[in-house]
Amino acid sequence: MTRLNEKIDDLKAQRDELKVDLGKAKKGKPLGNDKDGKPKKNSPPEQIEKKISAIETKIEKMEMDKKIKEDLKTVALGTSKINYLDPRITVAWCKRHEVPIEKIFNKTLLAKFGWAMDVDPEFRF
């Protein structure tokens, strides 16, 4: 979680820096130097706006991932797959919806539930 927060903070800092550069580019002023002390390339305002929008979408995605990760932190999703769901139902659903079974079961469960892999896609419990 801390790494995710750090990445989000870095992206926000980049976005803020690009907004400053956008203001300078619109006024026709030179952009100045980057963190390494090298002069920045003069970019047209449209290109800077595209970079800002791309960074904002990354920030939104990372914040959604963070929220999902926090919500699922207390839920053990693997336990119910092993103990409470009939693997034939899961395999039939995967075949019906063309989802690779490896996305649902890890290698250990694939070996454990080998007997359920030959089920018909129209299987009903």
- Within 10 angstroms of residue 77's Cβ, the number of other Cβ atoms is 7
DSSP 65-93: HHHHHHHTTT--HHHHHHHTS-HHHHHHH
Token couple for 83? 């103990």
Closest of 114, 113, 94 to residue 103, by C-alpha: 94
* Continuous segment of H or E residues that includes residue 34: none
Query: Of the listed 28, 35, 41, 84, which one is catalytic?
Result: 84
Check if 38 is active-site.
no
* Positions marked catalytic: 84
